[in-house]
Amino acid sequence: MGAKTRPPYPPAFRAEAVQLVQANGRSLSQAAKDLGVHHETLRAWVKQAAIDGGRRAGLTTEERAELARLRRENRGWFISNLLRGGRGEATCFST
């Protein structure tokens, strides 16, 4: 069977975990062990916090959410076009 998944950690827990690593100077591995999360999970939270804080390049949390929303919307338009008899191809109108 597949790996068990758990519900997402609450934002407050994530923020506190990131603060524990950044402010207290605890190692990522030790903080992850103390909190009961995988060290790669905590590393991703720390990385995303740095992006959101403008200290690192990348997509912010808000930008990621908007991108996901736009992709869902685009997929919906694509599927509705297929259901109306489209072939799934992009249509180009030249002037």
**What integer pLDDT is reported at residue 24 of this predicted model?**
84
* pTM (whole model) above 0.75: no
Give the tens place of pLDDT for each residue, 10-51: 999 999 999 999 988 888 999 999 999 999 999 999 999 999
**What integer pLDDT is reported at residue 90 of this predicted model?**
60
Measured CA to CA, the distance from residue 49 to residue 13 in angstroms comes to 13
Give the tens place of pLDDT for each residue, 47-63: 999 999 999 999 999 99
- Pair of tokens at residue 44: 């991703």
Phi, psi for 14 (deg, rounded to 5): -60, -45
